[in-house]
Amino acid sequence: MNRTIAPDGLVLSAGALRLRPTAADDRGGVIAAGQAPGIGGKMPWFPSPFPDHYADGWIERAASEWRAGRHFVLSVIEAESGAYVGSVVLSVVADDALELAYWILPAWEGKGAATAAAIAAVDWARTAIGPARIVAKTRPGAAASQRVLAKAGFTATGTEGQPTFELKLG
């Protein structure tokens, strides 16, 4: 896998959305995500509570993890307004594998944003990073997230109690 990817100028297109490495402009969006009941405290990325000032360190960590080739954190942005919609994270979990995670702010749910962003991120990772497989986990019964993964081409590999998913690329 290629883990050395320059973040500068990277923009992925996904219909009315754009994905780009997380940056200081996303501070308000990161705070909104970290404080949304369905995201903050539920995703390992956000401690709970998530006070506003955590966002600065969070964004710096996203940048340093990208430079280290461990986590590629992409913000999902509405192209027209520049508004932060959510995030997609691709994490290196093995020599040949990435893990996909994502979240969408409540105001943007149910509009296909997670699906479009996940597909764009997977397409990009396939060529830019070149993993043999991408894996994902959801909480049990997380029907919307599982539907997103199915639409992005993932196959269920786990159990009802421990849902895991895989997309083979190699």
Instruction: Give the residues lining the site for ligand COA (CB under 6 A).
Output: 38-39, 43, 101-104, 109-115, 138, 142-145, 147-148
Nearer CB in complex with ligand COA: 55/90: 90
SS3 156: strand
To ligand COA, the closest distance from the beta carbon of 82 in angstroms equals 18
Q: Where are the beta strands (DSSP E) in the chain?
A: 12-14, 17-21, 71-78, 84-94, 97-104, 133-137, 155-156, 164-168
Nearer to ligand COA, 67 or 94 (CB): 94
Of 20, 24, 86, which is closest to residue 59 (Cα–Cα)? 24
Taking residue 53's Cβ as centre, other Cβ atoms within 10 Å add up to 9
Minimum Å gap between C-beta 56 and ligand COA is 22
Tokens of 33: 């995500």
Q: Indicate the residue among 67 and 113 with the shorter CB distance to ligand COA.
A: 113
- Residue 103 CB, shortest distance to ligand COA, in Å, is 4
> Considering beta carbons, is residue 74 or 104 the nearer one to ligand COA?
104
